[in-house]
């Protein structure tokens, strides 16, 4: 079974100790590191992670470390990438159908394309009932931490 990770979950790994739902996010990270399931996230999520950290004034060294940590997960194949070219038309359809931003639609399309059964997100756009119902058509369950 494949599980997709939205960046909203990943960013919690690098936030402060008192970050809401950080412990649950770290449990998910441990599952990734232990290869408990197949985990998927578009490389675009790396850019979103950097933006979130820069926006919250994290030091450059910490941003670099977070980027490298995530990139390492791709290199050891604990995280799988979905190529943008593979989901181009589906992203367009999702943007139109659900009226989502491109990045939110990209993650949903990537999960669908890869055949993921679970889509992990803390993003309110993904947790709306309309989005959950749309994803059910593709046998994808949207879950929050």
Each residue's pLDDT tens digit, 3-39: 999 999 999 999 877 778 999 999 999 999 999 999 9
The more confident residue out of 143 and 82 is: 143
pTM value is 0.92
Cβ atoms of residues 41 and 5 within 8 Å: yes
**DSSP per-residue codes, 103-126:** HHHHHHHHHHHHT-SEEE---TTT
* Per-domain boundaries in the chain: 2-80, 86-143
- In the prediction, which pLDDT does 36 show? 94
Give the whole-angstrom CA distance, residue 15 versus residue 7: 13
């Amino acid at each position: 079974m494949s599980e997709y990770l939205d960046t909203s979950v990943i960013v919690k790994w690098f936030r402060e100790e008192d970050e809401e739902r950080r412990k649950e996010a770290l449990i998910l990270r441990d599952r990734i590191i232990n290869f408990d399931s197949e985990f998927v996230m578009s490389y675009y999520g790396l850019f979103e992670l950097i933006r979130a950290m820069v926006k919250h004034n994290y030091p450059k060294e910490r941003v670099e470390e977070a980027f490298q940590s995530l990139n390492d997960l791709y290199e050891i194949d604990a995280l799988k990438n979905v190529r943008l070219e593979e989901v181009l038309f589906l992203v367009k359809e999702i943007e139109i159908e659900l009226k989502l931003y491109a990045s939110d639609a990209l993650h949903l399309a990537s999960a669908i394309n890869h055949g993921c059964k679970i889509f992990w997100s803390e993003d309110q756009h993904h947790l709306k009932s309309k989005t959950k119902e749309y994803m059910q058509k593709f046998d994808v369950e949207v879950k929050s931490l």
